[in-house]
Amino acid sequence: MQLSAKELAALLEGSIEGNPDVLVNRPGKIEEGQAGEITFLGNDKYEPFIYTTQASVVLVNKDFSPRQAIQATLIRVENVYAALAFLLDKFGAQTAARTAGEGISPQASIHPEAQIGQGVSIGPFAVVEAGASIGDGAKIGAQVFVGQGAAVGEESVLYPGVRILHDCRVGARCILHANAVVGSDGFGFAPQPDGTYKKIAQIGNVVIEDDVEIGAGTTIDRASLGSTILRKGVKLDNLIQVAHNVEIGENTVIAAQVGIAGSTKIGRNCRIAGQVGFIGHVTIADNTSIQAQSGVAQNVTESGTIICGYPAFAYRDYIRSHAVFKRLPELDKKIKQLEDKLK
């Protein structure tokens, strides 16, 4: 996609300072900007770079006041981050289009009983099995597998190597990054008298509602019975494990390497940092924030709670406890000195 500064300003409802005919075809970082790129200044600490960047166009807020001459063309907007999000969405649409190319590859394997909507793109060596359905405008990358009876909603994007296993559901406008797996068996085994383990059949499915994004390498297990559910607007980072019968509430965001054990229920609008671990069968209230590397071993019942630590507890209490913990060697020495005096 190539646009002039004038065209960009019209899209963003901004005003131009500089050459309105300069062309850009990609976004870039302000500190590494090159000709043909559009970048932005949204944080004051990056202001020095606006005077040296080679980017062709820079988005700035309307009240930005430069301290010296700027080579790039400026587009002044009401909210630089909102304008940036709009532009990245435009450029991102082209990235999604490259995921599968245009149309259906002759190298794709599509069962005659699969339902394929209008304007669908399917890349080479993708497999769509019997009874599966692909919604209008969806983009299915190379080597994607969509199993029997599975469904992918309209305008969803599945990057190369994604697996949607049998009977699982992906809603509209979802994005699943490379090698995400939806519907693998839950980790269910029954111990036997001889010390072995017998596999428990996992006969449920996974239901992913609309506008969900799932990172590369993330695995979402099917339920043993019923459904593992990701509600509307959930955002998952890379390398997350979601176990069987977990439910994640609307608009909850979860960073990389989180592990969620079976039947955990996470509320709406929660924020969960990297490497958090949940034991099974806990319930997390809406609007909970959990700090990185915490171990969640009990229910969180009050909305808006912030927890930290292992096992995780109230964040402020954790900070106070940590301050004491660092002093333990010193305190231990003082206790021994007091014990000697008492003797």
Could you report the per-residue pLDDT of 251-280, keeping only the tens digit for each? 999 999 999 999 999 999 999 999 999 999
Q: pLDDT band for position 20 (50/70/90)?
A: very high
Using the predicted structure, report yes or no on whether residue 149 has a pLDDT greater than 70. Answer: yes
Domain end among 50, 66, 100: 100
The model carries a pTM of 0.79
The answer to whether the beta carbons of residues 326 and 332 sit under 8 Å apart is no
Whose CA is closest to 183, among 199, 200, 172, 167?
Answer: 167
CATH code for the domain of 281:
2.160.10.10
| In a domain? residue 139 | yes
**Alpha helices in 27-66, H assignment, sequence order:** 47-50
Amino acid at 212: V
How large is the greatest C-alpha to C-alpha distance in the chain, in angstroms? 89
Domain total in the chain:
2
Burial bucket for residue 195 (CB in 10 Å: 0-12, 13-18, 19+): exposed
Tell me: the pLDDT tens digits for 151-206? 999 999 999 999 999 999 999 999 999 999 999 999 999 999 999 999 999 999 99
For residue 106, give both structure tokens.
Answer: 């002759």
Q: Round to whole Å and give the CA distance between 315 and 309.
A: 8
Whether 119 and 70 map to the same domain: the answer is no
**68 and 132 belong to one structural domain:** no
Residues 148, 94 within the same domain: no
**φ, ψ for residue 98 (rounded to 5)?**
-75, -15
Q: Do residue 19 and residue 165 come from a single domain?
A: no
Q: How far apart are CA 40 and CA 71, in angstroms?
A: 14
Q: Which position among 111, 244, 281, 322 bears the catalytic label?
A: 244
Residue 337 lies in a domain: no
Cβ atoms of 263 and 281 closer than 8 Å: yes
Asked if 177 and 214 touch (Cβ cutoff 8 Å), the reply is: yes
Assign 96 a pLDDT band (cuts: 50, 70, 90): low
What is the overall mean pLDDT for the chain? 94
- Answer with the one of 56, 71, 100 that is the final residue of a domain: 100
For residue 336, being part of any structural domain is answered with: no
Tell me what the mean pLDDT of segment 85-95 comes to. 75
Q: Is residue 168 part of a domain?
A: yes
Residue 91's domain comprises 3-100
CA angle, 271 then 211 then 272, to 5°: 10
Residue 202 maps to a domain: yes
Residues 165, 302, single domain; the answer is yes
In this structure, are 84 and 216 located in the same domain? no
Regarding whether 124 and 92 lie in a shared domain, the answer is: no
Structure tokens belonging to residue 159: 């990057």
- Residue 140 to residue 120: CA distance in whole angstroms: 8
* pLDDT level of residue 343 (50, 70, 90 thresholds): confident
pLDDT in tens, 100-118: 668 999 999 999 999 999 9
Among candidate residues 100, 134, 150, the one where a domain is terminated: 100
Cα 272 to Cα 292: distance, rounded to the nearest angstrom: 7
Average pLDDT over residues 320-329: 82
Task: Tell whether 147 and 42 lie within a shared domain.
Answer: no
The domain that contains 71 carries what CATH number? 3.40.1390.10
User: Distance between CA 66 and CA 70 in Å, rounded?
Assistant: 8
Question: In 3D, which of 88, 151, 83, 78 has the Cα closest to residue 114?
Answer: 151
DSSP 270: -
Express each pLDDT in 58-83 by its tens digit. 999 999 999 999 999 999 999 999 99
In the residue annotation, 244 being an active-site residue is answered as yes
